[in-house]
């Protein structure tokens, strides 16, 4: 775990271990279609099926999303016959064209069209199914609550414990799976806590949910909780129960679909990322990844207007942190990003915002889905999207084949600390990861599921305040094998003795705060004491500006360095990065004499190295938006 090894042995070790839960995944998983999607979304009806497939082919879309919501529209929830025929026809046409297709369905939301003038609606027919506040108000909304609710429509949110609804829902899932469609895309399977007036309700307190919680814990959710008080043990049980409920709901969707079509893929759309929103809505991507095939993250790291054109330097860095965390949580499954580049910003060209967003995502190993404005479909500039998709398709193996760690500094993501102490933990976690990205050291996000397989020398615990006995035992094993732990903030590990270096002033949090307060020029070198404690001696040494985020991994047997340049980006004012010059990559004890250099949206070139002592040094061209570099290691190849 804490030994230095030669490059060839290092490559062999990590290739052989790449199918373990601690690595990003094996080759078989990486070849699944979910890993190489370039998504375009379309509204589906009987008359536009051929046009959808033609448009997707022409614009390099691979992975066609169609909006044909059966479960989220009361009429088709009752009778899905017509929509099922459309899905089946679309799937057949997509397959004829060599494409894949997946269909949208709602999670716990259901809309009844023109309910104001109808004798029947979901709420009128089944009021007991609805989620409720602790004071009893049902989750019923009109057109003012969200842009997708038309005037006169009724929008309701249903309890996952309403068993008659859930039985019929799973039957609709099985019927969709039987059409031959490649995937079921489940939009926002949440507890209702994200519309105005519901944010702090910690719903739902309907009879079905309250009964399920009482059966699980013996507690009355309406009386025995200090609602919103995360120091209350009973409220923590409610938090855990809500997350377990949404995870179980998605597990049943996946199992129901695969009982009919074993090859179908289940993909939930989740807007909370690693932050506190996951706790409120109950959809925690860390818990969800093991029970689904991929996750589509509508990731805005905290909500608000975070289109690419509006982002600050700190926003871009924290966006990278979130995506790298998702890739760790996924353990070899695909990470899709449904995000928005531009929504009418007058000072930003949509093409520039689109390029920045796509670059940031592919360098993190995530799949792209950039829609027009804040909708799911269309594009702000179809010609630019076509060009991006074409370039990514040509070079996709560098971005979407498994990324195997080399010799990283680990940063621990503690799900339970995030659940109960989210403000302190997220700030510290972000700060440590951004510090390593800016220092250009290899890092790996480590979780309770991957701790045992972590092969780095040093692990940072950023303000980790909740650890299970199993986690403590794994940490003890890590230190017994020579690993070092750096603990920041309120992390306390006296039982591990001298193997732990404490930083109670929490330099991670200070760095995150500095990024948000100050300019992009804040240098990570100001945290020299923390960096020294990490005792990291990288074999690949990257020297570029701290305004460039880097990450490293073995991809197909070759060390890769990914560069994302956010220098000069100012939300609402400038979306053209300032090129970064005079960068170098130095590699110790290697026979490699040439570096492959692939700038984002450009063609590959080779750079000759220069021997300087034991190092081979490669002087890099200007880094514009981003780039990926790789080289052969002492004749070891993996083709």
Place of tokens 């020294």: 532
What integer pLDDT is reported at residue 72 of this predicted model?
Answer: 98
Q: How buried is residue 539: exposed, middle or buried, by Cβ count under 10 Å (0-12/13-18/19+)?
A: buried
Q: Say if residue 637's pLDDT is above 50.
A: no
Residue 464, strand partner residues: none
319: left (phi over 0), alpha (psi -120 to 50) or beta: alpha
Q: Say if residue 405's pLDDT is above 90.
A: yes
Helix ranges (H only) for 343-439 are: 350-363, 382-400, 415-420, 422-439
| pLDDT mean over 159-186 | 98
Residue 291, strand partner residues: none
From CA 87, how far away is CA 66, in angstroms rounded?
8
pLDDT in tens, 283-340: 999 999 999 999 999 997 644 557 999 999 999 999 999 999 999 999 999 999 999 9
pLDDT in tens, 600-635: 999 999 999 999 999 999 999 999 999 999 998 764
| pLDDT mean over 158-185 | 98
What integer pLDDT is reported at residue 497 of this predicted model?
Answer: 86
pLDDT in tens, 125-148: 999 999 999 999 999 999 999 999
- 242 Cβ partners below 8 Å, 6+ apart? 191, 202, 282
pLDDT in tens, 449-505: 999 999 999 999 999 999 999 999 999 999 999 999 999 999 989 889 888 999 999
Helix ranges (H only) for 261-381 are: 277-281, 285-288, 313-330, 350-363
pLDDT in tens, 548-591: 999 999 999 999 999 999 999 999 999 999 999 999 999 998 88
From CA 264, how far away is CA 177, in angstroms rounded?
7
| Sheet with 484-488, side-by-side order of all strands | 443-446, 409-412, 458-462, 484-488, 500-503
From CA 300, how far away is CA 314, in angstroms rounded?
13
From CA 182, how far away is CA 71, in angstroms rounded?
18
Domain regions of the chain by residue span: 32-298, 407-535
What would the CATH number be for the domain defined by 407-535?
3.40.50
Place of tokens 């794994």: 474
| pLDDT mean over 205-219 | 98
Place of tokens 């398709």: 393
Instruction: List the Cα angle 639/393/176 in 5-degree steps.
Output: 105
- 500 Cβ partners below 8 Å, 6+ apart? 479, 484, 485, 486, 487, 493
Asked if 63 contacts 102 with a C-beta cutoff of 8 angstroms, the reply is yes
Asked if 601 contacts 624 with a C-beta cutoff of 8 angstroms, the reply is no
Predicted confidence band of residue 1 (pLDDT cuts 50, 70, 90): very low
Give backbone dihedrals phi and psi of 500, rounded to 5 degrees, phi first: -110, 130
Asked if 42 contacts 67 with a C-beta cutoff of 8 angstroms, the reply is yes
Predicted confidence band of residue 182 (pLDDT cuts 50, 70, 90): very high
Six-digit token pair at 248? 């179980």
Percentage with pLDDT > 90 across the chain: 87
pLDDT in tens, 421-452: 998 999 999 999 999 999 999 999 999 999 99
Strands 334-340 and 367-371: parallel
Asked if 121 contacts 75 with a C-beta cutoff of 8 angstroms, the reply is no
Considering all CA atoms of the chain, what is the largest pairwise distance in Å, rounded to the nearest integer? 83
What would the CATH number be for the domain defined by 32-298?
3.20.20.80
Percentage with pLDDT > 70 across the chain: 92
Nearest to 545 by CA among 432, 439, 409: 439
Predicted confidence band of residue 185 (pLDDT cuts 50, 70, 90): very high
């Amino acid at each position: 775990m804490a030994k230095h090894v030669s490059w060839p042995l290092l490559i062999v070790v990590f290739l052989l271990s790449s199918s373990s839960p601690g690595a990003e995944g094996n080759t078989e998983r990486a070849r699944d279609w979910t890993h190489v999607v370039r998504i375009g979304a379309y509204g589906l009806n009987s008359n536009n099926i051929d046009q959808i497939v033609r448009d997707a082919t022409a614009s390099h879309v691979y992975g066609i999303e169609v909006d044909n919501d059966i479960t989220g529209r009361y009429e088709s929830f009752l009778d899905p016959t017509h929509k099922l025929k459309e899905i089946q026809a679309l799937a057949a046409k997509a397959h004829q064209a060599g494409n894949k297709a997946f269909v949208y369905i709602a999670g716990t939301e259901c809309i009844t069209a023109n309910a104001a003038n109808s004798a029947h609606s979901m709420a009128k027919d089944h009021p007991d199914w609805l989620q409720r506040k602790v004071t009893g108000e049902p989750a019923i909304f009109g057109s003012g609550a969200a842009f997708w609710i038309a005037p006169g429509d009724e929008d309701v949110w249903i309890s996952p414990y309403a068993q008659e609804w859930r039985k019929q829902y799973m039957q609709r899932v099985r019927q969709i799976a039987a059409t031959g469609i490649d995937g079921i895309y489940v939009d926002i399977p949440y507890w209702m806590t994200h519309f105005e007036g519901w944010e702090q309700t910690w719903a739902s307190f309907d009879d079905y949910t309250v009964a399920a919680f009482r059966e699980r814990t013996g507690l009355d959710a309406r009386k025995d909780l200090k609602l919103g008080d995360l120091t209350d043990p009973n409220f923590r049980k409610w938090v855990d129960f809500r997350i377990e409920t949404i995870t179980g709901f998605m597990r049943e969707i996946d199992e129901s679909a695969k009982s009919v079509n074993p090859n179908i893929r289940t993909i939930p759309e989740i807007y909370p990322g690693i932050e506190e929103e996951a706790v409120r809505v109950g959809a925690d991507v860390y818990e969800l990844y093991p029970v689904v095939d991929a996750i589509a993250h509508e990731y805005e790291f905290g909500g608000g207007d975070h289109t690419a054109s509006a982002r600050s330097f700190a926003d871009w860095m924290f966006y990278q942190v979130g995506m790298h965390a998702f890739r760790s949580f996924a353990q070899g499954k695909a990470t899709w990003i449904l995000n928005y580049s531009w929504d009418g910003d007058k000072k930003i060209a949509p093409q520039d915002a689109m390029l920045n967003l796509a670059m940031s995502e592919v360098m993190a190993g995530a799949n792209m889905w950039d829609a027009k404005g804040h909708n799911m479909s269309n594009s702000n500039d179809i010609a630019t999207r076509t060009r991006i998709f074409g370039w990514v398709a040509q070079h996709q193996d560098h971005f979407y084949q498994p990324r195997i760690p080399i010799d990283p500094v680990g940063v621990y993501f503690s799900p339970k600390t995030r659940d109960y102490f989210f403000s302190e933990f997220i700030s510290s976690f972000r700060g440590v990861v951004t510090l390593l990205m800016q220092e250009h050291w290899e890092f790996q996000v480590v979780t309770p599921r991957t701790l045992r397989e972590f092969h780095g020398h040093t692990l940072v615990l950023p303000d980790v305040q909740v650890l299970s006995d199993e986690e403590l035992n794994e940490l003890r094993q890590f230190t017994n094998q020579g690993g070092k732990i750096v603990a920041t903030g309120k992390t306390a590990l006296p039982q591990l003795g001298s193997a732990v270096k404490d930083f109670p002033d929490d330099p991670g949090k200070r760095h995150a705060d500095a990024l948000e307060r100050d300019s992009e020029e804040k240098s990570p070198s100001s945290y020299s004491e923390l960096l020294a404690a990490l005792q990291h001696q990288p074999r690949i040494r990257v020297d570029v500006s701290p305004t460039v985020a880097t990450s490293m991994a073995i991809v197909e047997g070759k060390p890769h360095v990914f560069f994302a340049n956010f220098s000069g980006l100012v939300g609402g004012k400038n979306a053209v990065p300032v090129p970064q010059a005079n960068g170098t990559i130095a590699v110790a004890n290697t026979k490699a004499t040439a570096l492959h250099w692939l700038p984002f949206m450009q063609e590959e070139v080779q750079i000759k190295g220069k021997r300087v002592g034991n190092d081979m040094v490669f002087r890099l061209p200007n880094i514009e938006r981003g780039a990926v570099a790789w080289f052969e290691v002492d004749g070891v190849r993996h083709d």
